[in-house]
Amino acid sequence: MNAVAVAVPSIPREDWTAHPRFRTQALLLGSHSNFRRVSRYLVDQAAREEFVGLHSLFDRWIAAMRSHEAYEERKLYPYLEYRWRVSLDEARTGHSELHARADEVAEAFRSLARPADSTESSTDNPVLRALQAHDRTLDDHLNVEEEAVVPLLLALDPEEFNRYYRSPLSMLIPAHRG
């Protein structure tokens, strides 16, 4: 860790778009926007009971999100924690919660293939319930992550951001063993 005390930046969400380095965060925020959009599409389709291809779409979408999470946990979070002396454990916990909700969605899709239990309501839609729970967890996680991460990234000067973006973590944090 840095031995120097570091002032952790705080930039309100409503000020982000006016920040001169906001455009450098388009990829992160664009990914989050797309994750929200796909999640809401899945919920809408399940609400209409339009299940054809939905499980496959969910699986591909989850794979993309897992790649995004891996980048965050292997490079972004460690760098920001080192640089700003903060903890991003709450964001990591959000990833774990999303994995649990994704498992519930997968189980709900599997339940569609099983014969209906005579005690189940004909209006029961386990896929919809699971996707709604996943959507809420995703939105909560992305809000936590954006509030914690975006101000820290915006506070990096352009040279430091470019160094972060182009360098492996081992060059950014000398003691880090990736």
Domains and CATH numbers, the chain: 22-113+123-172 (1.20.120)
Instruction: Look at residue 174 and give its three-state secondary structure.
Output: coil
Global pTM value: 0.87
The pLDDT, as a whole number, for residue 3 is: 42
Rg of the chain over all Cα atoms, to the nearest angstrom:
19
Share above pLDDT 70 across residues of the chain, in percent, rounded to a whole number: 90
Per residue in 32-74, pLDDT tens? 999 999 999 999 999 999 999 999 999 999 999 999 999 999 9
Better-scored residue on pLDDT, 112 or 108: 108
Give the number of other Cβ atoms within 10 Å of residue 141's Cβ.
22
Whether the per-residue pLDDT at 124 is higher than 80: the answer is yes
Calculate the alpha carbon distances from 44 to 40, 47, 129, 141 in Å: 6, 5, 11, 20
Average pLDDT over residues 140-169: 92
**Which tokens sit at 95?**
């990833």
Q: Tell me how far apart the alpha carbons of residues 124 and 121 are, in angstroms, rounded to a whole number.
A: 5
Instruction: Name the phi and psi angles at 85, rounded to 5.
Output: 55, 50
